Amino acid sequence: MNREILKLAIPNIISNLSVPLLSLVDVALMGHLDSAEYILTIGFGVMIFNFVYWGFGFLRMGTTGFTAQEFGRKDNRECLLILGRALLIAVTGAVLLIALKPLLLKLSLHLIGTTPEVDAYVEGYFNIRILAAPATISLFVFTGWFFGMQNARIPMIITIAVNLINIGLSYWFVRVAGMTSDGVALGTLIAQYCGLILAMVFFYKNYRHMLPFWNKLDLFHIGKMKKFLMANSDIFIRTLCLMFAFSFFRVQSGKEGVILCSANFILLEFIMISAYGIDGFSFAAESVVGKYFGAGDAWNFRKAIKVSFQWGFGISITLVLLFYFFGREILQILTDNQEVINAAMPFMGWLIIAPIIHAVPFIWDGIYIGITASKAMRNTMLLSTFLFFLPTYYLLHGTMGNHALWLALTILMLARGISQTVLAKHVVFNRLKN
């Protein structure tokens, strides 16, 4: 089981860590320009597209869970149709996003409520990056489908390729062509379409033997489409709450002043490193747990859950040690603004404990997604966001200041992990008994 988990998790970790690496490069490129406002532009730009694109992350997760179960049942025909249904939703959603571009931008700038200079930079960033919607959302689908087919190697290659292209182009546009945040957005736009082309090439090369199973009528099967949409709507709400929490964090940070806000944005990169590292085993849990659930193999199902948690805690401890011993050095890589670094250091303690706390809900997310227990995952997220995260901030901000933001984020993850653990006996283990 360890080998099976690692076979999926290691490529996931490698590809996942390349994502925050890209974010780190973007922040570093902006952090070494002549104004801290460029850091805010990237921070707010990322926040907006966490909602715009990551809101469609349900397509990756939902596609993985459904595909893994059908893979366990050895139903290649349904596996292919799941891909078709998910891509249909992805393209439809992308077209709507582009059509609603002016409204989305106006709403985003209103919610941010920052300076006119930052607004202008964010608008330029937004107008370029929104055009990547068809490629970005379709890549979610292909990635989730490959994971469900127990193939983590292809998503790893695609993700690394996309991020290397993105890093190279962003560096060239900013450092050579003299662009600012708009250069970062343009690099992302081009890289996303390169990734989509690569995904289609890999699909045809490795899975074209499944194409004879294609049936347009079954693609629109009402019952199966409804089941797919219902599960994905729950994951969408869960993801929306998570993005709301991080966006709320960024917006409230903006009220703390440019320096402290920049410090918070840079410190969030540590959270992203933790998330993408631990998510390697979360993604592996989606695939392996979903496969054994679909096959009705209770013994391996339970073992896959146990091993996923063991490896998740292992990598979280490694991250704790990394942040404890090299936290300041990582900050100095991200920015040479000494004011921002000094403002960030008092809050490093929250980042050091974060990986251990975050490991529990992240691994449970993978398990819940793998067995398509989306309703329970949605409910724990709603509970944690509105009964714990928001009240913690509003009750303590007056006395704790910026520390209240970090405490609220920590409480959010604790509440998620505890509530998912409590529900697991009924929601997870009782669904597949020996």
User: pLDDT band at residue 397, thresholds of 50, 70 and 90?
Assistant: very high
Residue 383: what pLDDT?
A: 95
Binning pLDDT at 50, 70 and 90, where does residue 429 land? Answer: confident
- Mean pLDDT, residues 35-57: 69
Least confident of 33-47, 145-159, 357-371, 387-401: 33-47
Please tell me the predicted confidence (pLDDT) of residue 425: 87
Lowest mean pLDDT among 104-108, 189-193, 282-286: 104-108
Q: Looking at residue 106, what is its pLDDT? A: 83
**Is a pLDDT exceeding 60 seen at residue 19?**
no
Share of the chain above pLDDT 70, in %: 88
Residue range 261-286: mean pLDDT, rounded: 83
Cα separations (Å) of 224 from 66, 81, 213, 221?
A: 11, 10, 16, 6
Q: How far apart are CA 257 and CA 288, in angstroms?
A: 46
E strand intervals along 227-279: none
> At 419, is the pLDDT very low, low, confident or very high (cuts 50, 70, 90)?
very high
User: Residue 198: pLDDT band by 50, 70, 90 thresholds?
Assistant: very high
- pLDDT tier at 218 (50, 70, 90 boundaries)? low
pLDDT confidence of residue 396? 94
What the block records as the tokens of 239 is 């993801």
Structure tokens at 95: 């077209």
Q: Predicted confidence band at 43 (pLDDT cuts at 50, 70, 90)?
A: low
Q: Compute the residue count for the chain.
A: 434
The rounded mean pLDDT for the chain is 84
**What DSSP string describes 116-163?**
HHHHHHHHHHHHHHGGGHHHHHHHHHHHHHHHHTT--HHHHHHHHHHH
The residue that leads in pLDDT, 222 or 330, is 330
Report the pLDDT value the prediction gives residue 394, as an integer from 0 to 100.
95
Is residue 403 pLDDT above 60, yes or no?
Answer: yes
> What is the Cβ-side half-sphere exposure of residue 290, based on CA atoms within 13 angstroms?
34
* pLDDT for res 360: 94
What pLDDT is recorded for position 268?
Answer: 85
Residue 50 in this model has a pLDDT that exceeds 70: no
| pLDDT for position 87 | 92
pLDDT in tens, 63-80: 888 898 888 888 888 889
Q: What is the mean pLDDT of residues 235-264?
A: 86
pLDDT score for 388? 96
